[in-house]
């Protein structure tokens, strides 16, 4: 094995305090980047929760709809026009909108109504832990997530409240259906949804289209677009992208998260660069000796890059540990930090890149070494 690794590791460990400072810098930087990118992923996922759980191949929506929460409406007649298109098996109406939940003990709290036809499906609650979907057919029945019990001032199944002056009763409880806006989702039937959101009886927000078995989704989408006027027809994937794009970039949230990640990278790069530079300065005699005995510049550059990579690997491993703790701690919050294998790999590569970039200043320094200096020191 080449001595490059040994030289690099011993150079690093020669000054343990500086090495610890370097590693702490990398850990700080990587954890910061992990949080920012994890939040980005988590935000990207949570803003499309409803789209991801809808049973739809295509979405028919008012033109220019930016995201799922956009409360514009369509005319009910559109549904029948859609059903007449070849390849359309079902067009389930969905109504959404904001409403006020009147807490039994007094006071109100805004909620987000998601209403579907129980027979046709569309967007029904999932992850039920208490009650049943069928129970939503009971007059005044709603489904809420148990994580919002405190906020809604209720205790569970059977709890009563009021929405827009109408009595409601919790008949089903879900687990993990959280809104990134902190406004609780309340699932109910189509008619009740219209009443809660003051949506006219002939209006809906979306039609969720299921295509016939064997039909090509894109062909059906093109036909719907060609035959329906004044609507947008998107595949689930396209609507997910549009919605995510709106929340992440239309609101500036994504840029802020990326800016945070970039800042983390810059901080990490500066810290590692500073310590590598001073370490190289301390070992300048040794690098000059290497040059004097005939080493190529590449050999010396490899030693410095190897130092950077060793720091990166150790720093990343520790940061990954801290990151896992952060991920676990935020798992049940409204905006969980998401860590995926792909993100882990990206973070590892970013850490390596950050440390290699940090080595540039040190490399520039050793490139200027005059081997003759070994005679004067």
Partner 1 sequence: MIEPVVQAVDIVKWLGKGAAQVQALKGISLALRGGELTLLMGPSGSGKTTLLSILGCMLTPTRGTVRMRGRSTEGAGPEELAKLRREHVGFIFQSYHLFPTLTATDNVRLALDVRGDNSARAIAKSKDALAMVGLAGKVNAFPLELSGGEQQRVAIARAIVGEPSAVLADEPTASLDGENGNAIMTLLAEIAKDSSRGVLVVAHDPRILCFADRVVHIEDGCIIREERGDAALKKDHGECAAHDRADKPDRMEN
- Contacts with partner 1, residue ranges (CB under 8 A): 1-4, 6-7, 10-11, 13-14, 285-286, 289-297, 299, 371-372, 374-375, 377
Residue labelled with tokens 């973070």: 347
Are the C-beta atoms of residues 93 and 117 closer than 8 Å to each other? yes
Least separation in angstroms between residue 288's CB and partner 1 is 8
Least separation in angstroms between residue 242's CB and partner 1 is 55
* Beta carbon nearer to partner 1, 7 or 82: 7
Give phi and psi for 134, each to the nearest 5: -60, -30
Give phi and psi for 167, each to the nearest 5: -70, 135
* Beta carbon nearer to partner 1, 171 or 291: 291
* Beta carbon nearer to partner 1, 2 or 127: 2
Least separation in angstroms between residue 18's CB and partner 1 is 14
Least separation in angstroms between residue 295's CB and partner 1 is 4
Least separation in angstroms between residue 309's CB and partner 1 is 18
CA distances, 205 to each of 21, 292, 296 (Å):
56, 77, 69
Least separation in angstroms between residue 36's CB and partner 1 is 38
* Beta carbon nearer to partner 1, 10 or 167: 10
* Beta carbon nearer to partner 1, 113 or 310: 310
Are the C-beta atoms of residues 330 and 180 closer than 8 Å to each other? no
The SS3 assignment for 67 reads: coil
Calpha distance 245→32 (Å, rounded): 23
* Beta carbon nearer to partner 1, 6 or 119: 6
* Beta carbon nearer to partner 1, 334 or 373: 373
Are the C-beta atoms of residues 94 and 73 closer than 8 Å to each other? no
Least separation in angstroms between residue 7's CB and partner 1 is 7
Query: Residue 25 CA to chain centroid, in angstroms?
Result: 25
Calpha distance 38→337 (Å, rounded): 5
State the Cα angle at 169 between 152 and 335, rounded to 5°: 35
* Residues 6+ positions from 262 with CB-CB distance below 8 Å: none
Output the DSSP codes for 216-282.
-HHHHHHHHHHHSSS-EEEEHHHHHHHHHHIIIIISSHHHHHHHHHHHHHHHHHHHHHHHHHHHHHH
* Beta carbon nearer to partner 1, 103 or 292: 292
Least separation in angstroms between residue 303's CB and partner 1 is 11
* Residues 6+ positions from 34 with CB-CB distance below 8 Å: 319, 323, 326, 337, 339, 343, 347
């Amino acid at each position: 094995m080449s001595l490059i690794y040994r030289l690099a590791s011993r150079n690093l460990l020669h000054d343990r305090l500086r090495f610890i400072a370097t590693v702490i810098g990398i850990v700080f930087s990587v954890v910061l980047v992990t949080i920012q990118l994890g939040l980005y992923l988590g935000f990207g996922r949570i803003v499309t929760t409803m789209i991801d759980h809808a049973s739809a191949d295509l979405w028919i929506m008012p033109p220019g709809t930016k995201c799922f929460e956009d409360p514009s409406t369509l005319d009910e007649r559109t549904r029948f026009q859609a059903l007449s298109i070849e390849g359309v098996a079902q067009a389930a109406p969905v109504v959404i909108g904001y409403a006020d939940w009147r807490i039994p003990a007094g006071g109100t709290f805004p909620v987000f109504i998601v209403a579907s036809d129980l027979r046709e499906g569309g967007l029904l609650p999932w992850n039920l832990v208490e009650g049943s979907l069928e129970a939503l057919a009971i007059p005044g029945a709603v489904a809420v997530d148990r994580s919002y019990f405190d906020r809604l001032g209720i205790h569970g199944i059977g709890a009563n409240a009021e929405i827009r002056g109408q009595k409601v009763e919790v008949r089903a409880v879900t687990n993990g259906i959280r809104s990134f806006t902190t406004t609780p989702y309340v699932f109910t039937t189509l008619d009740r949804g219209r009443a809660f959101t003051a949506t006219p009886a002939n209006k809906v927000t979306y039609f969720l289209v299921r295509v016939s078995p064997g039909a090509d989704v894109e062909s059906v989408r093109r036909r719907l677009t060609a035959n329906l006027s004044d609507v947008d027809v998107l595949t689930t994937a396209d609507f997910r992208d549009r919605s995510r794009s709106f929340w992440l970039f239309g609101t500036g949230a994504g840029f802020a998260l990326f800016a945070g990640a970039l800042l983390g990278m810059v901080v990490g790069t500066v810290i590692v660069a500073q310590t590598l530079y001073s370490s190289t300065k301390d070992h300048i005699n040794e690098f000059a000796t290497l040059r004097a005995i005939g080493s190529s510049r590449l050999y010396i550059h490899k030693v410095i890059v190897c130092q950077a990579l060793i720091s990166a690997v150790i720093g990343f491993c520790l940061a990954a540990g801290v990151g896992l703790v952060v991920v676990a701690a935020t798992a049940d919050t409204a905006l969980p930090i998401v860590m995926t294998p792909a993100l882990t790999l990206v973070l590892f590569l970013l850490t390596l890149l950050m440390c290699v970039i940090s080595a540039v200043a040190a490399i520039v320094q050793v490139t200027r070494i005059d081997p003759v200096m070994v005679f004067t020191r």
